Amino acid sequence: MSNSLHHAITQAEQIILGKPQQIRLALACLLARGHLLIEDLPGVGKTTLAHVLARTLGLQFSRIQFTSDLLPADILGVSVYQRDTNEFKFHPGPIFAQMVLADEINRATPKAQSALLEAMEEQQVTIEGTTRALPAPFFVIATQNPAYQIGTFALPESQLDRFLMRIQMGYPDAQAERGLLSGMDRREIVAGLSPQMTSVELFELQKQARKIFVSPALLDYVQAILRHTREAVRYTHGLSPRAGLSLLAAARAWALLDNRDAVIPEDVQAVLPGVASHRLQAPGEHARQNSDMLVRELIESVAIP
């Protein structure tokens, strides 16, 4: 693993205490060039994680707070008439940044949500007939509150699929919490963070991740997992081919983080909760079942060929 990546992880772990797995998953997601959805209660450090990642990776950062009255123009930007030059001038919205934190995405109306999601998919936005490219690299870290909270518009499945991973933060353990409570103000530390890599280096790492070797035996395993989700009655619908591709890309990035040049089944198992939990749903009355449980069952019921 490159030094810079190692430093980035170390630096993030110093701020976000007791969450190494989440940090690595988030990094893997970025290395796999995917967007990340963090779902948890308010105040468990979602925003901080996004901040830390942006800072550490040296990315230009912007934040959009999603509310129920948020309009697409608030995300994308607007053209304003300039009286002195007699023409419209485009004022880019907060989406024009390398890392966009979309906070509480499920508080906004579907219209505003889809404006963001389209930008995520296309890596470009079209405003008033003009297509404008978004900066590269372009990451969206969206956070959302658990769906049962009041005043939320749940993201439809098709839009959830746009996120490579969904992770949950969870409460910190006692030791981490003690560190958090006794330590400095998080906001101050984040402000003082220094970038550990340039965007060129990040590009390189992404390229490296794509080159990680995948053996036929591993493909067998991935296919066995996909097949299982499609055949078992435990899921309303199986994983899509795009999910399969995402799983492989994430596993590659995970292998890179683990400093290996080939993907092994453990990599797949490590990223599977992130990649599959928001794409799988138990049918009927089990719909509310914890999705992490579903994925754990999935792992345990597919033998490694």
Partner 1 sequence: MSKHLIYGLLLSILMVIAPHAEHLPLWASSLCAGLLAWRTYLAYSGTALPKRWLLMLVTLAATAGIVIEFHTLFGREAGVTLLVLLAALKPMELHKARNAMVVIYLACFIIITNFFYSQSIPTALYLLATLMVIVTTWVHLQAQGIALKARARIAALLLLQALPLMLILFVLFPRVPGPLWGLPQDAYASSGLDERMAPGSLSRLSLSQAVAFRVTYNDKPPRRDQMYWRGPVLWMFDGRAWTPGTTALSVAPQFTELGQPINYSVTLEPHNKAWLFALDVPDKLSIPATSRDTLLAQTADCGSGCEAAIPAPDASQRRVMAATLTHDFQILNKEPVNARLRYAARSHLVYRANLQETAQQLKRGLQLPRQFNPRAQQLAAEWRSSEKDDETIVRTALSYFHNQNFVYTLEPPPLGVHTVDDFLFTTKQGFCEHYASAFVFLMRAAGIPARVVTGYLGGEFNSVGNYYIVRQSDAHAWAEVWLAGRGWVRFDPTGAIAPERIQRGLSAALPDNAALPFMARNPPQWMRELRLNLDTLANQWNQWVLGYDAERQFAFLTRLGIESITWQKMALDMAGGLGIAIALFALFMLRHLFARQPDKVQAAWLKLCARLAKSGLPRAAHEGAQDYAARIAAARPELAEAIRDLAARYTALRYRAGHDEHEQREFLQRAKALKI
With respect to partner 1, which residue has the nearer C-beta, 98 or 229?
229
Q: Long-range pairs for 115-122 at CB < 8 Å and ≥24 separation?
A: 115/72, 115/75, 115/76, 116/64, 116/75, 116/140, 116/142, 117/159, 117/162, 119/75, 119/76, 119/95, 120/35, 120/162, 121/162
Q: At what angle do helices 265-276 and 241-257 cross, to 10 degrees?
A: 130
With respect to partner 1, which residue has the nearer C-beta, 105 or 255?
255
Least distance in angstroms from the C-beta of 305 to partner 1: 8
With respect to partner 1, which residue has the nearer C-beta, 132 or 260?
260
How would you classify the pairing of strands 35-39 and 139-144?
A: parallel
* Site residues for partner 1 per CB under 8 A: 213-218, 261-266, 269, 299-304
Least distance in angstroms from the C-beta of 12 to partner 1: 24
Least distance in angstroms from the C-beta of 176 to partner 1: 24
With respect to partner 1, which residue has the nearer C-beta, 115 or 212?
212
With respect to partner 1, which residue has the nearer C-beta, 13 or 297?
297
| C-alpha to C-alpha distances, 131 to 18, 76, 229, nearest whole angstrom | 43, 11, 39
With respect to partner 1, which residue has the nearer C-beta, 265 or 274?
265
Least distance in angstroms from the C-beta of 264 to partner 1: 5
What is the rounded CA–CA span in Å between residue 100 and residue 97? 6
Least distance in angstroms from the C-beta of 255 to partner 1: 9
Are the C-beta atoms of 137 and 93 separated by less than 8 Å?
no
With respect to partner 1, which residue has the nearer C-beta, 189 or 214?
214
Closest CA to 102 of 130, 136, 58, 70: 70
Least distance in angstroms from the C-beta of 266 to partner 1: 4
Least distance in angstroms from the C-beta of 161 to partner 1: 25
Helix ranges restricted to H, the chain = 3-15, 20-31, 46-56, 72-76, 110-122, 157-160, 174-182, 186-191, 199-210, 216-231, 241-257, 265-276, 291-301
What is the rounded CA–CA span in Å between residue 219 and residue 244? 10
